[in-house]
């Protein structure tokens, strides 16, 4: 067994009884070609996601050590961490949810069990837990509402995952609320401060609330966004309207308010750690790019994380 895998399993065994991040843990592994770019790197895989996504990572040399927890369907709110194994907890505050539905994957990276974990983002299901757990969470370009992606702390791993070596210097604009969302002032301020290295200009953006289109399963081009991306590379916003809720659920708050429009339009997006709120809970900065321009999201992550404004 590769040393990195053994270390990951040891870490998993220490934190799992408290965090409940894994649905299944693997203990035996096939040999890995040492010439592969991520040879021997332990990863976690979201329970129930597409096999093809997992296989793409194992083709890079990654070693899955387990399947991570997701909400089990007993709750209508996927940002709740309740599942068949118990309650998945936020490493920064055990009384708060890590978000979802890719809950366990975000926790596995945030707790230092693995450097990379997979997820599926159906309405913010990668970006929300990434924001609330203080890690990077990438949703890739997709023609469907649900898009695959990953969690990590390292932008360079995102580049290897995407198979790109491109270095870009994207332009950016800033919107606090997309013109319709109710966002806490603290989330806005922390995310705006983290965005400063990208020098975004404010934009008077008004998107229609995507709730009706979401529940009607209407996906496709968004004329407002198409026009916006004619003049900029990135749209920056807070990743979530508020902090992680408790384990009793979110109440009436729509935690997907700032994320699900980009599932309908198919744009790639990322949540980048932006700092901490007054309760010591992580806050995320969301960056959205043109279709197929994930390289600009990596550039944004590198710029923000290199700044002394974050963490």
1 vs 277, higher pLDDT? 277
User: Domains in the chain, ordered, with CATH?
Assistant: 3-162 (3.90.1300.10), 172-305 (no CATH)
Helical segments of 67-135, H only: 103-110, 127-133
Over residues 270-283, the mean pLDDT reads: 98
Confidence of residue 78 (pLDDT cuts 50, 70, 90): low
In the residue annotation, 168 being an active-site residue is answered as: no
Band (307; pLDDT cuts 50, 70, 90)? confident
Which residue, among 256, 273, 132, 136, has the nearest Cα to 191 in the 3D structure? Answer: 273
Mean pLDDT in residue range 21-32: 94
| pLDDT score recorded for residue 215 | 87
Give yes or no: 265 in active site. no
Distances (CA, A) of 22 to 8, 15, 65, 96: 13, 10, 10, 17
In this prediction, residue 1 has a pLDDT band, given cuts at 50, 70 and 90, of very low
Compute the average pLDDT of residues 32-48. 96
Q: How confident is the model at residue 112 (pLDDT cuts 50, 70, 90)?
A: very high
pLDDT of 162 over the 90 cut:
yes
Helix (H) or strand (E) holding 52: helix 51-58
Model pTM? 0.96
The one catalytic residue among 52, 84, 105, 125: 125
Average pLDDT over the chain, rounded to an integer: 93
């Amino acid at each position: 067994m590769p040393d990195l895998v053994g270390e990951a399993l040891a870490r998993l065994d220490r934190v799992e009884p408290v965090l409940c991040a894994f649905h299944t843990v693997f203990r035996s592994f096939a040999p890995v070609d040492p010439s592969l770019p991520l040879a021997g790197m332990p990863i976690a895989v979201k329970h129930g996601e597409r096999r093809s996504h997992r296989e793409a990572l194992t083709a890079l040399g990654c070693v899955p050590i387990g399947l991570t927890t997701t909400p089990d369907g007993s709750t209508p709110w996927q940002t709740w961490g309740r599942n068949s194994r118990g309650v998945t907890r936020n490493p920064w505050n055990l009384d708060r949810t890590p978000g979802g539905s890719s809950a366990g994957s975000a926790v596995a990276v945030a707790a230092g069990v693995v450097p990379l974990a997979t997820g599926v983002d159906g309405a913010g299901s990668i970006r929300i837990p990434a924001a609330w757990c203080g890690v990077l969470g990438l949703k890739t370009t997709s023609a469907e509402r649900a898009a695959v992606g990953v969690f990590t702390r390292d932008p360079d791993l995102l580049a290897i995952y995407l198979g790109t070596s491109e270095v870009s210097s994207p332009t950016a604009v800033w919107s606090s609320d997309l013109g319709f969302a109710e966002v806490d002032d603290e989330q806005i301020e922390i995310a705006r401060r983290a965005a400063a290295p990208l020098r975004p200009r404010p934009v008077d953006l008004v998107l229609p609330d995507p709730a009706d289109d979401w529940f009607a399963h209407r996906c496709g081009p968004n004329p407002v966004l198409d026009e916006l991306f004619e003049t900029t590379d990135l749209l920056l916003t807070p990743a979530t309207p508020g902090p992680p809720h408790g384990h009793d659920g979110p109440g009436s708050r729509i935690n997907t308010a700032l994320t699900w429009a980009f599932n309908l339009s198919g744009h790639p997006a990322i949540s980048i750690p932006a700092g901490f709120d007054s309760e010591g809970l992580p806050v995320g900065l969301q960056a959205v790019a043109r279709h197929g321009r994930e390289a600009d999201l990596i550039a944004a992550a590198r710029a923000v994380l290199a700044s002394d404004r974050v963490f």
